[in-house]
Amino acid sequence: MRRTAMANSNIRMVIGVRLVVAYTVTVSSLCSIFSGCSASGSGSVSVLIGGDCLLDRYGEANHASATTPGSLSEEQSSDKRWATLIGSAEEDSAFIFNLETTVGHGGDKKQKRFVFRAPIEAFAVLGSFHHPIAALANNHSMDYGPAGLVATIDALDRYGIGHAGAGKNAEEASEAERILVGSEAIDVLSFGFDEDKNSYDGTKGGCIAPLDRNSMKKRVEASSSSSMATIVMLHWGIEYDPDFNGYQQDIARNLVEAGASLVIGTGPHVKQGIEEYRGSLICYSLGNLIFDDLGSDETATTFIVCLTIKRKADGTLKRRYEIAPLRTRTIDEGPSPTDERDASRLVSEISRRSPNPKIIGRPDRM
């Protein structure tokens, strides 16, 4: 397939106020995002991307004692946390997120401050999404070693959830997960950082894909030559720092030069700026999507990204990017749309943290 990059900035703001009311100027309903952003129609494909997801904090310990401090109860682990996202999703919209935990049983618990595990049943709700994909290259996928990672992958497969960024060997970990929508293909790649270098060791039976420049570049080049879009998920950055750094920018731009259509950062647990580069979008950190850290406004707010791609009559591609801010008010209810004032403030924060503060504009038709 031929890949065509846009020449001009095409990033738009979408503010979700109500799921049933769509505004035509500066505000749109969240449901319009999931039906192909505000450009839904024949010939367009949409992909939604969210940030860090912690399905359960203590896993087995949580279910052994419902009063474990800081853990999610059975009720809090229910579908309600995903209700806003699932209720707005429509057929053929892919959904990508960073899975910030292991899932299932087995493996040896690492000696570190935070070790996360969720029950397999936590994946059941994700089957409500069409084309769900988990990015696994992060610093918690190996919390229970290679066996814990393999158990997570097996659980994802059991529920029909795609995954990228981890595997039973290094080759498998760096492979792209391909989304097929009709006759079109979109590739998802995932790479991340972990302080434990053993997490990258493909000879132990399970590993994640590292932030290795040469390897990432080769994978992006290969994917972009055979798909209509390549989305790269990167787990990186300094935790709780609202500003991205030069290292992040250099890597992200290199991946765009290699052919990435969209580069998404996770890991800092707060929102960082966005940047358009050579017609592609870079989001340095989306913040927490499904998480239990509501200790500050920064950790309780996030934004999701929608990439809409339309193949024109002449075979070329037109891409459009939109963002929507969300706020988590309680752990058990999960993220939900903000009101117009709150959304404008959150979007202003993202703009101020971006190289071009005027990057976010009003929605238009594709």
Question: What are residue 207's DSSP bridge partners?
Answer: 167
Q: Which residues, 6 or more positions from 94, have their beta carbon under 8 angstroms from its beta carbon? A: 46, 47, 48, 130, 131, 132, 133, 179, 181, 186
* 12-16, 93-97, 279-283, 354-358: segment of lowest average pLDDT: 12-16
Higher pLDDT, 280 or 89: 280
Q: What is the pLDDT of residue 22?
A: 23
CA dihedral 268, 269, 271, 272 (to 10 degrees): 0
pLDDT for 343 equals 86
Give helix then strand counts, H and E, for the chain. 9, 19
pLDDT of residue 355: 93
pLDDT at 117 > cutoff 80 = yes
| Cα-only R_g, the chain | 19
Q: What's the first-to-final CA gap in the chain, in angstroms? A: 21
DSSP string, 165-194: SEESSHHHHTPPEEEEETTEEEEEEEEE--
Greatest mean pLDDT among 18-22, 181-185, 233-237, 343-347 lies in 233-237
At 265 the pLDDT is 98
Q: How far is CA 205 from CA 137, 148, 235, 358, in A?
A: 15, 10, 22, 47
Q: Which residue has the tokens 């989305």?
A: 231
In this prediction the pTM is 0.86
Q: How far is CA 172 from the centre of its chain?
A: 20
Span 228-275, pLDDT tens digits: 999 999 999 999 999 999 999 999 999 999 999 999 999 999 999 999
What are 52-78's pLDDT values in tens digits? Answer: 999 887 554 444 333 333 344 444 345
8 exposure class (CB count in 10 Å sphere: 0-12, 13-18, 19+): exposed
Residue type at position 105: H
Q: Which residue has the higher pLDDT, 360 or 304?
A: 304
